[in-house]
Every structure is written in structure tokens, then in C-alpha cells.
């Protein structure tokens, strides 16, 4: 099925996590390329707005946050009324929840396309069967517009930053004494849940080896919540890194990762930002399945995941063992990092 006219109003009902929203940008790009004259909007929670801000393929970002601004039923009703006024013609539902299908239904959007998950089939005008096999999240989202005739524009995702972001990072690196010919490595030790994190002792040992044997300049990145972890890693090191955890916003983090030679990170949103910026990347996977959420970018990417006998993916958020991450040794990661250094 194709639009009768190119000038349609399209809504994408997106998902909730930074990395997944980044992966959805391949679909956003494909939709805009297929229908360049259309008005394209994306609905996301507040915490994901920065992921999409500056994206030239979007005409509008609409915030729907059921855990904050739209927590109460009265706020949700007002949101639906405002959405109805926007007169969208079609909604692509990347989010698979019942609520996210109900909202465009109540807003009177004529065409609603998404996966036919439990109890929401009656809310969809085009029902897509869930994939029988595990597929990468990028393809999982891309399946939805492809069912409508949209063709893929490439299996990579994008994160857009400004010249001001780049200038901020360039000035920061100069202030820190980093020279243009330095081998600069960002380590990103944080993650949205503990079992995906590599032990801080391993990051410390790896960083010392990178400094001592490859002459690397080490930068520890992260959000405000990662400052304590960054300081703990630094305290375990014999050499001292540069700590920029808590010192950048998300766009500046993207500029930082674009400016350096290598990023080493566990499976996390910042890992996907590094991939989106085209930076060389070593991705450390443990309880998550790399085939589903591996980083896709234009730089060189090495994925490290060890077989430890556990079922993957594993969603034991309170796992006390974390043997899947502990099985990745600093020496193994260092060997991979050396290959990247030799290629520069």
C-alpha cells in the first residue's frame, strides 16, 4: 500500500530506551526518504528527546511520558485531544504496548500499523505478525514501515550533533592537553542495569595497560550517576585517566565519541551513540544477546561475548554472579584494542 499523495501527516509512536530509539532512526530515515513531502513526527518519552533532536528527517518531536507528565488519566485524555487536533493520517507503532496503540486509535488516526501483540489487534488497521526468529532491533522496527511499502535506506542509525557541540569538545580536549596525534580512548563503564556492566577492576587494569603499552590517553565518560563509578575506577588505576563523566550532555557525549580514536563500552545507550557517530568501537556483551542489539555503524566494530553456559539473553536484573561479564578478561580486550591501534 502506498500513499495516494506524498503530502501526508505521519506519526511514529516510538519506544522508551535510548539505544532502541537510536536504532529506530534507520526507519525514520527510510520513511522520510520514501515520502519527502510528508510531515513526519515522532512520539517519545522526555528522556529520549535529546536522542532525536536535530534529526533532519523529523518535523516534530512529541513528548508523551506516562511516568511523568502524562502519569494521570486526565493528562492522557488532554494529550489525546491535542494529538487529534494534529490530524495525522497514519501512525507507525514501533512501541508494542496496548496503550501506545490505544492512543492513536482514540486520536482518530485513520491508519495504524504495528505488531499484533496481545489484545491490541482490534486497534490496528494493518496487523504485522511478530517475527518467529530473533532479529536485530533495527530490523524489528524497520519491518513496520516496510510492510507499508517503505524500502530500507541502510542498516545503520544516526545521532545528530551541532557545530557548537563539536567546538565544546574540541576546546575541552585542548584544555586537557590532548594533542591531535594522541591515541585517545573513551571507556564507558556505566549501564542501565548492573549485570551488563564490566567490573570496575577490569576497566582499571585495561586502562593502565592501554596507557603503559600503547601510550593511550584514557577518558572515562558517563552521566551524572556514573561520576562515583568513574572515580572508583580512577582510584584503582596506577596511571590517572581524564574523567568527563557528568561533564557533558548527550549531544556533547556524541561529539566526544566522534573526536576520539576508540570507544570501549558494555551494551548501553552510549555504546550505540559511539556506533552512530562512526567511531571505532569495542562492545562488551554479557547477559544481552549481541545478535539482537549489537551496535551498527560506519566505524570498525569488535563485539566480545564469552560462552559461560548461561541462557542468553538473561534478564536477571539482580544477578549476583555476573560471570558472563567477568569472563571477559582485560587482556583479551587489550589484544583487540591493540589491533585498532595498529590500524590507525
- Final residue of a structural domain among 116, 146, 176: 146
**Based on the domain organization, do 139 and 183 belong to the same domain?**
no
**Based on the domain organization, do 174 and 138 belong to the same domain?**
no
152 in Cβ contact with 15 (< 8 Å) = no
pLDDT at res. 308: 85
CA distance 332 to 327: 10
Going by C-beta distance under 8 Å and a sequence separation of 6 or more, which residues neighbour residue 33? Answer: 57, 153
Q: Distances in Å between the alpha carbon of 178 and those of 169, 184, 217, 229, 289? A: 11, 8, 8, 23, 36
Measuring CA to CA, which residue among 205, 1, 180 is closest to residue 89?
1
Whether residue 289 is contained in a domain is answered as yes
Taking only Cα atoms into account, the Rg of the chain, rounded to an integer number of angstroms, comes to 21
52 in Cβ contact with 58 (< 8 Å) = yes
Q: Distances in Å between the alpha carbon of 102 and those of 48, 164, 233, 240? A: 21, 40, 46, 53
- C-alpha cell, 146: 516496510
Whether residue 79 is contained in a domain is answered as yes
pLDDT at res. 4: 47
CA distance 286 to 273: 19
304 pairs with which residues across the strands?
284
pLDDT at res. 195: 83
**Based on the domain organization, do 113 and 187 belong to the same domain?**
no
Question: 10-residue block means of pLDDT along the chain (344 residues)?
Answer: 66 94 96 95 95 97 90 92 97 95 97 93 94 90 96 92 98 95 96 87 97 97 95 96 96 97 95 96 94 92 91 79 91 96 79
What are the start-end ranges of the H helices in the chain? 18-23, 25-34, 49-52, 73-85, 98-106, 137-146, 163-175, 200-214, 227-236, 250-259, 269-276, 290-293, 323-326, 330-343
Whether residue 190 is contained in a domain is answered as yes
- C-alpha cell, 172: 575541552
9 in Cβ contact with 38 (< 8 Å) = yes
CA distance 102 to 122: 10
Phi-psi region at 229: left, alpha or beta (left = phi > 0; alpha = psi -120 to 50): alpha
What is the domain range of residue 208? 164-343
**Based on the domain organization, do 291 and 336 belong to the same domain?**
yes
Q: What is the pTM of this model?
A: 0.90
**Based on the domain organization, do 49 and 127 belong to the same domain?**
yes
DSSP 7: -
Q: Distances in Å between the alpha carbon of 68 and those of 33, 63, 298? A: 33, 11, 36
CA distance 153 to 209: 40
Number of separate domains in the chain:
2
Whether residue 152 is contained in a domain is answered as no
Whether residue 236 is contained in a domain is answered as yes
DSSP 301: E
- Per-residue burial over 214-243, b if 16 or more Cβ lie within 10 Å, else e, is bebbbbbbbeeebbebbeebbeebeeebbb
10 in Cβ contact with 39 (< 8 Å) = yes
The domain spanning residue 258 has which CATH number?
3.40.50.2000
Whether residue 324 is contained in a domain is answered as yes
Q: Calculate helix-pair angle for 250-259, 163-175, nearest 10 degrees.
A: 60
pLDDT at res. 343: 77
CA distance 115 to 100: 11
Amino acid at each position: 500500500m502506498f500513499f495516494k499523495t506524498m503530502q501526508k501527516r505521519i506519526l511514529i509512536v516510538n519506544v522508551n530506551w535510548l539505544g532502541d530509539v537510536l536504532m529506530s532512526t534507520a526507519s525514520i530515515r527510510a520513511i522520510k526518504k520514501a515520502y519527502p513531502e510528508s510531515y513526519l513526527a515522532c512520539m517519545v518519552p522526555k528522556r529520549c528527546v535529546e536522542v532525536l533532536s536535530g534529526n533532519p528527517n523529523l518535523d516534530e518531536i512529541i513528548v508523551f511520558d506516562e511516568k511523568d507528565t502524562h502519569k494521570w488519566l486526565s493528562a492522557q485524555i488532554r494529550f489525546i485531544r491535542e494529538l487529534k487536533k494534529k490530524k495525522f493520517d497514519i501512525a507507525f507503532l514501533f512501541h508494542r504496548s496496548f496503550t501506545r496503540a490505544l492512543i492513536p486509535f482514540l486520536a482518530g488516526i485513520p491508519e495504524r500499523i504495528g505488531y499484533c501483540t496481545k489484545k491490541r489487534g482490534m486497534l490496528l488497521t494493518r496487523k504485522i505478525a511478530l517475527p518467529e526468529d530473533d532479529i536485530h532491533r533495527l530490523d524489528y522496527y524497520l519491518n513496520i514501515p516496510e510492510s507499508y511499502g517503505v524500502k530500507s535506506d541502510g542498516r545503520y542509525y544516526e545521532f545528530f550533533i551541532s557545530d557548537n557541540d563539536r567546538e565544546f569538545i574540541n576546546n575541552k580536549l585542548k584544555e586537557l592537553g590532548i594533542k591531535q596525534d594522541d591515541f585517545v580512548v573513551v571507556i564507558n563503564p556505566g549501564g542501565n542495569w548492573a549485570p551488563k556492566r564490566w567490573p570496575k577492576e577490569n576497566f582499571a587494569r585495561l586502562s593502565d595497560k592501554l596507557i603503559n603499552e600503547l601510550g593511550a590517553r584514557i577518558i572515562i565518560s558517563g552521566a551524572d550517576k556514573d561520576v562515583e563509578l568513574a572515580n572508583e575506577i580512577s582510584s584503582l588505576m596506577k596511571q590517572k585517566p581524564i574523567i568527563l563523566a557528568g561533564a557533558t550532555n548527550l549531544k556533547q557525549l556524541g561529539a566526544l565519541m566522534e573526536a576520539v580514536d576508540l570507544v570501549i563500552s558494555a551494551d548501553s545507550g552510549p555504546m550505540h551513540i559511539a556506533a552512530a557517530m562512526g567511531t571505532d568501537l569495542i562492545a562488551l556483551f554479557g547477559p544481552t544477546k549481541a545478535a539482537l542489539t549489537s551496535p551498527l555503524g560506519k566505524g570498525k566494530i569488535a563485539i566480545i561475548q564469552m560462552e559461560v553456559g548461561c541462557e542468553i539473553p538473561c534478564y536477571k536484573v539482580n544477578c549476583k554472579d555476573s560471570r558472563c561479564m567477568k569472563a571477559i578478561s582485560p587482556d583479551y580486550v587489550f589484544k583487540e584494542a591493540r589491533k585498532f591501534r595498529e590500524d590507525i
